[in-house]
Chains A and B, each alone.
With several copies, the nearest count.
Chain A
């Protein structure tokens, strides 16, 4: 393995700049932060709690949650911890902070103070600074993670890790392509190299910080091979900077066979590439996201989607499930609705825990297909990068051999069109320039024709639209009426 690690000198140079981009950056003192992190007990360290669950075969549950003001945010998280029975907690960051618009976030905080309610869609951790973050993490009994969607999360990482958070979501692709419009891939990869190096620096000082690439991408009919390849790449890039605790994610597709196959394959294939890249010393866990696309507005139906997501996640053997709420289709949930989502999920998870459900049928066939798809995509990346995954990734997005459906980024080809087959598995209808072999595409085509015949209509864009709406309208597959 080559030495791709960001040098200390380079890192420090960037750090000086980054910490000056907002006044609270001055609060960060790395050595002091290391001491602070060292004092955090094991049962509040995200990496350790998650790894313990992994070894015990238990699936942990984690909500999303974040509001503008510290006091309200603490009240929210404490409620989710006690009443909601959350195993792990989040701090979801607002959309302005995600785009480094700290002035707008400051404005949002002020307006929220005035309105006596949160006008931001998350917690502006940078604005609240190291001190604000510590007040939050110290008020809680379980580990807390930063969840966001930030292409350039360098300052956020510095502040929040110094602030006592022990896990940090995101990655150079997964927090760019689905979340940004005009950020070049190389730029976000470079900025995330910094974040990973920062985590590596903590690891070198004996502090475990969990890192979690964002698996679901746009959350909308993403074929598993695409999100898996992104996860594997981000995993490699993170390991290169010294990350040790890595959680790869996958967003539920809805078909049980595909979801179970996907999560099992993710572990196997990721380990294969990590070893291939020369890594041995890491802890790999998985996270399963309950359905990330459009939700039904009716709350009873939302509970159904939440339950089925939990069931699929437990059956797939996920170490952690990210939980939705009955308010999903409508807006940021109240704390009560958020707790309901976790409680519902907890009940399902507890009903399934230990049942050891094994699928039969086409399990092996789908497993082999997915591995084949991933190797098609990865081979091309290695090829385009002359053996280097980072260079290959940038080239692959440019050439469209890696392509995320429905993404806003102008650096994403945006040509592939996914669609459900007759059993609801997500297949690829239009591959654009995706590096999938003809054999694979013929299989996809055949499965889609099967559906078209059943529905007595041609495979068409209308089917994609129907599939996008389907779950929110109460079904998995967007059938004609």
Chain B
């Protein structure tokens, strides 16, 4: 059996929406991931510290309350600063203020350095599969480098 996939989970900024986080925590655990759940109201620093401490391969950021644009900016840069250059960054939820065409949202957050951007309805099973693939790819790329 291969090394378990460790992921850091949390809701960013001043966001208190805890229901989706509860479900994601249970879901990823059931799917066989090792989940480090930071709960709600997580700062960028907390994500990074947890990722370093646990050797996580991905950070899964939620933002529901509308301030996602402000709160999520700069996380990629901070990761790089801290040596997490190639860590996988996923983000999902109600990412911007107001009902907005998903492709615009995706573009915005991809520019910020997130690898994948998810709308609230994206099927969780499919997402977990993508995550496994992305982690495997990253592991291979790292091996190739070595």
Q: Which residues of A contact B (CB under 8 A)?
A: 95-96, 98-99, 101, 104, 107-108, 111, 117-121, 149, 178-182, 218, 220, 293-294, 297, 327, 329-334, 337, 406-408, 461, 465, 468
Give the bracket for the number of chain B residues in contact with chain A: 20 to 34
Chain A residues contacting B67 (CB-CB under 8 Å) are 95-96, 108, 119-121
Q: A95–B65 contact, CB under 8 A?
A: yes
25 pairs across A/B with beta carbons < 8 Å?
A: A95-B14, A95-B65, A95-B66, A96-B14, A98-B14, A108-B67, A108-B70, A118-B98, A119-B67, A119-B69, A121-B65, A121-B66, A121-B97, A149-B16, A293-B19, A327-B98, A330-B94, A331-B100, A332-B98, A333-B98, A333-B99, A406-B22, A407-B18, A465-B26, A468-B23
Question: When chains A and B are docked, how far (Å) is the Cα of A334 from the Cα of B97?
Answer: 10
Among B16, B23, B66, point to the contact of A332 (Cβ < 8 A).
Answer: B66
Contact of A119 among B22, B97, B120 (CB under 8 A): B97
B115 CB, nearest partner CB in chain A, Å: 23
CB-CB under 8 A from B5, the residues of chain A are none
Across the A-B interface, the 3 shortest Cβ-Cβ residue pairs = A121-B66, A330-B99, A408-B18
A181 and B97 contact, Cβ closer than 8 Å, known pairs A406-B19, A407-B18, A408-B18: no
Tell me what chain A mostly uses at the interface: helix, strand, loop, or mixed.
loop
Say if the beta carbon of B51 comes within 8 Å of chain A: no
Interface flag for B48 (CB, 8 Å): no
In the bound assembly, the distance between CA atoms of A95 and B100 in angstroms comes to: 20
Give bound CA distance, A64 to B15, whole Å.
18
Give the residues in chain A near B13, CB-CB below 8 Å: 95
Least CB distance from B125 to A in Å reads 13
- Bound-state Cα–Cα, A461 to B23, Å: 10
Contact B18–A218 (Cβ < 8 Å): yes
Asked if A337 contacts B99 (CB within 8 A), the reply is: yes
Decide if the interface of chain B is mainly helix, strand, loop or mixed.
loop
CA distance A18 to B40 in the complex (A): 27
A111 neighbours in B (Cβ, 8 Å): 70
Please indicate which of the listed interface residues B26, B70, B96, B97 has the most CB atoms of chain A within 10 Å of its own CB: B97
In whole angstroms, how far apart are the Cα atoms of A334 and B98 in the complex?
Answer: 7
Alpha-carbon separation in the docked complex, A180 to B121 (Å): 26
- Which chain B residues lie closer than 8 Å to A465 at the CB level? 23, 26
With beta carbons under 8 angstroms apart, the residue of B18, B66, B100, B121 that contacts A406 is B18
Does B41 lie within 8 Å of A181, measured CB to CB? yes
- B91-117 interface with A by 8 A CB criterion: 94, 96-100
In the complex, chain B residues whose CB is within 8 Å of the CB of A178: 16
CA distance A407 to B23 in the complex (A): 13
The verdict on A179 contacting B99 (CB below 8 Å), with A95-B65, A297-B120 known, is no
Residues of chain B contacted by A101 (CB below 8 angstroms): 14
| Cβ-defined partner of B97 (8 Å) among A218, A293, A331, A408 | A331
Residues of B120-141 contacting chain A, CB below 8 A: 120-121
Given A120-B97, A121-B97, A331-B94, 7 extra CB contacts under 8 A: A95-B14, A95-B16, A98-B14, A104-B14, A179-B16, A330-B94, A408-B41
Q: Across the interface, which residues of B come within 8 angstroms of A107, CB to CB?
A: 70
Q: Are A331 and B66 in contact (CB under 8 A)?
A: yes
Q: Which residue of A lies closest to B69 (CB)?
A: A119
Contact flags (1/0) for B1-36 with A, using CB distance below 8 Å? 000000000000111101100110010000000000
What is the minimal beta-carbon distance from B30 to any residue of chain A, in angstroms?
10
User: What residues of chain A lie closer than 8 Å to B70, measured between beta carbons?
Assistant: 104, 107-108, 111, 119
Beyond A95-B66, A96-B14, A96-B67, is A220–B19 a contact (Cβ under 8 Å)? yes
CB distance from B16 to the nearest CB of A (A): 5
- The answer for the CA separation of A279 and B121 in the assembled complex, in Å, is 49
> Is the Cβ of B40 less than 8 Å from the Cβ of A181?
yes
A334 to B99, CA, bound (A): 8
- Which residue of B16, B19, B23, B65 contacts A180 across the interface (Cβ within 8 Å)? B16
Q: How far is the CA of A266 from the CA of B27 in the complex (A)?
A: 36
